[in-house]
């Protein structure tokens, strides 16, 4: 799945967003190098999921493992 990109070297950034784009996938891939960073907090239970836990849960639900 392609990610979006932005060239900030010009005064008006050039942004490229692929036609087939999944924002959730983009978010997980861009934060994969921060596995312990808080990704999601469930308001009702105050449970906190890290990016690693969120990615594992999504892979399991998607049948990737």
22 and 39 assigned to the same domain: no
The most distant pair of C-alpha atoms in the chain lies apart, rounded to whole Å, by 44
For the chain, percent of residues with pLDDT exceeding 90:
5
For 55, the domain range is 35-65
pLDDT band of residue 55 (cuts 50, 70, 90) is confident
Percentage with pLDDT > 70 across the chain: 89
Among candidate residues 57, 6, 52, 61, the one with its CA nearest the CA of residue 29: 52
Count: domains in the chain: 2
Q: Are residues 39 and 22 in the same domain?
A: no
pTM, rounded to two decimals = 0.53
26 & 42 share domain? no
Do 25 and 2 fall within a single domain? Answer: yes
| pLDDT tens digits, one per residue of 8-29 | 999 999 988 888 888 878 888 8
| Amino acid 58: pLDDT | 78
């Amino acid at each position: 799945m392609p990610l979006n990109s932005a060239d900030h070297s010009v005064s008006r950034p050039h942004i490229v967003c692929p036609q087939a784009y999944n924002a959730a996938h983009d978010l997980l891939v861009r934060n994969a190098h921060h596995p312990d960073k808080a990704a999601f907090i469930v308001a009702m239970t105050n449970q906190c999921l890290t990016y690693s836990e969120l990615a594992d849960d999504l892979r399991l639900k998607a049948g990737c493992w």
